[in-house]
Amino acid sequence: MNALQKRFVAFHVWLFRRSQGRWGGTMDRGGKVLLLTTKGRKTGQARTVPLMYFDDGGTIFVSNSAAGTPTPPAWYLNLQADPDVEVELAAERVPMRAIPASPERSLELWNQICAGWPRFRSYEPKAKGRAFTMVHLHPR
């Protein structure tokens, strides 16, 4: 992530927290946003990113699509090292455990996402064969 992207993410996190999710709590035609905080796998420091989230029958999940980058996002690598995360939904902070879905279930959920947000299909060629993993977030 370049310096401009880092500043944008930091501003989005600040705006979301300052407004308790009223601003920065949605994106892309009403997609819901949460803040995901992981522990840095190298530094041990808290790392927070805004992510669109989706519903899977009452369980929320996020995608590691990273707009189609060929490598997984840092937050995904962090939760592989430590799956205990914190999720912010509006003003509520909830300790959660991040559990990656199976490849088969990830593909099903990816297709569900793309049905609602067709532009996500444009990520596939950019990813150069990287499969997108869906990550369920369960309260601890």
pLDDT of residue 12: 86
Q: Which residues contact 5 (CB under 8 A, 6 or more apart)?
A: none
Reported as a single tens digit per residue, the pLDDT across 64-118 is 999 999 999 999 999 999 999 999 998 899 999 999 999 999 999 999 999 999 9
Residue 39's closest CA among 100, 93, 81, 72? Answer: 81
Mean per-residue pLDDT for 117-133? 95
Please give the residue that has the higher pLDDT: either 80 or 3: 80
- Is 137 in contact with 85 (CB distance < 8 Å)? yes
* Domain spans, the chain: 3-139
Using the predicted structure, report yes or no on whether residue 45 has a pLDDT greater than 80: yes
pLDDT of residue 1: 66
Reported as a single tens digit per residue, the pLDDT across 14-43 is 888 898 888 888 776 778 999 999 999 999
* Residue 19 β-bridge partners: none
Least confident of 9-13, 48-52, 122-126: 9-13
pLDDT of residue 65: 96
Using the predicted structure, report yes or no on whether residue 136 has a pLDDT greater than 90: yes
CATH class of 3-139: mainly beta
Determine which helix (DSSP H) or strand (DSSP E) holds 22, and give its type and residue range.
none
Q: What pTM was estimated for this model as a whole? A: 0.90
């992510």: which residue's tokens?
51
pLDDT of residue 26: 74
